[in-house]
Amino acid sequence: DRKVGPRRRCILATGGAGYIGSHVAVELLSAGYRVVILDNFENSDRRVLSRISRIAPGGDVALVEGDVRDPATVEDVLRSHDVDAVIHLAGKKAVGESVADPLLYFHDNLLGAVALMQGMRAAKVPHLVFSSSATVYGLPKVLPIDESAPTGVTNPYGRTKLMIEQMIDDVAASWRGFRAISLRYFNPVGAHRSALIGENPRGVPNNLFPYVAQTAAGLRERVRVFGGDYETRDGTGVRDFIHVVDLARGHVRAVDLLLRSSGGWPLSHRRINLGTGRGYTVLEVIDAFAQACGGPIAYEIVDRRPGDVAVSLADPSLAAELLGWRAEHDLQAMCRDHWAFQLQSAPPAPRPVDARAPAA
């Protein structure tokens, strides 16, 4: 008779074909989990599945093209793949877009979370890791920021993250045995060392790293530095950038904890920061990226961006305590890996010829 080893636990990653999701899928496979990706490819690329398999050959990963906003789809995926826990990454995440169209964000992010948890309840899958964001802290009053810091809302996107955390509290109170962890991401950057997966934003990037990478590749004229008069060491904004592979490994530890701990789970919903505890300014990032790509990166200091905070910095000690997790990649690795992915996804455009240069 076929020797049946211990049953591999299975994790559903909604939005698993996206930037964060694909890295989470790779780390889950490396940790021995089966993975099911549910994605509607609205903001991700079908080719990601083959790249995940190239990075983690032999990994048991399945892809379901579908929409998390349909409870029946969720329930069906959970049952047919015998899922043990869900990591919910599907959702819209552009701050500026959320300000312009809040109803789109309430519809997609809030109803997506409601439908997901309805499907989980119907399929009796009681373990959830939710992709939350440091943006729920609003304007931080104390730095570094720990999980007890007051929350605040500075945009509709951040409001949906905070509201979903609160919805999870209510679901936990109503469903005995349900356990959840909301991971509050600081600033995810970088890419897998293989350069097979990474961040491929559509249109003009809102975030700093992809914009710097595209400038380094000659696809953008220069980086606009939003504000040079903050109370920081060089006047530009400070952020807690975290390598996406470190972030992904934090998700695996969170799933391990949910599936490992017995009923003695003190709180049925924990919030945990995923950050490094180390901040870098915008100019320090540009400088580090110039070193990684081996050439100068043009920038111009312009007015502050409305809604930006001066400094965002994590206190990551709860993640170390509860998850036994700590970020390991430094800024150089973040820039090196982000640049390597940029190179393979869009080879450098010819540098704009300086029209003033004398003809050769």
For ligand WQD, which is the closer residue by CB, 66 or 138? 138
Alpha helices in 95-189 (DSSP H): 95-100, 102-105, 111-123, 156-174
How deeply is 169 buried, as exposed, middle or buried, from its count of CB atoms within 10 A (0-12, 13-18, 19+)? middle
Q: How far is CA 264 from CA 1, 182, 260, 267, in A?
A: 38, 19, 11, 9
Residue appearing with tokens 């609160």? 166
For ligand WQD, which is the closer residue by CB, 109 or 133? 133
For ligand WQD, which is the closer residue by CB, 22 or 53? 22
Closest approach of ligand WQD to the CB of residue 350, in Å: 22
Whole-number Å distance between alpha carbons of 228 and 235: 5
Whole-number Å distance between alpha carbons of 181 and 152: 19
Q: Binding ligand WQD by CB under 6 A: which of 53, 133, 200, 276?
A: 133
> Which candidate in 157, 185, 211, 299 is catalytic?
157
Binding mask 203-242 for ligand WQD (x = CB under 6 A): ---xxx--x-----------xxxx----------x-x---
Q: Under rule CB under 6 A, which residues in 20-79 are in contact with ligand WQD?
A: none
Q: How many residues lie near ligand WQD (CB under 6 A)?
A: 20
Closest approach of ligand WQD to the CB of residue 319, in Å: 17
Find out whether 187 and 312 touch, Cβ atoms under 8 Å.
yes
Question: Per CB under 6 A, which region of 110-118, 202-210, 323-331, 333-341 contacts ligand WQD?
Answer: 202-210
230 is catalytic: no
For ligand WQD, which is the closer residue by CB, 48 or 208? 208
Among positive and negative, which fits the CA dihedral 201, 203, 205, 206?
negative
Report the 10 Å Cβ neighbour count for 246.
22
Whole-number Å distance between alpha carbons of 181 and 175: 15
Question: Per CB under 6 A, which region of 54-62, 115-123, 304-312, 349-357 contacts ligand WQD?
Answer: 304-312
Closest approach of ligand WQD to the CB of residue 97, in Å: 11
Q: Binding ligand WQD by CB under 6 A: which of 135, 200, 273, 276?
A: 135
Find out whether 334 and 243 touch, Cβ atoms under 8 Å.
yes
For ligand WQD, which is the closer residue by CB, 43 or 73? 43
282 interacts with ligand WQD by CB under 6 A: yes
- Please choose, from the candidates 196, 183, 186, 197, the residue with its C-alpha nearest in 3D space to the C-alpha of residue 22: 197
Whole-number Å distance between alpha carbons of 286 and 291: 9
Q: DSSP secondary-structure letter at 7?
A: P
Closest approach of ligand WQD to the CB of residue 76, in Å: 29
Residues that bind ligand WQD (CB under 6 A): 93, 95, 133, 135, 185, 187, 206-208, 211, 223-226, 237, 239, 282, 305, 308, 312
- Which sequence positions are flagged as catalytic? 157
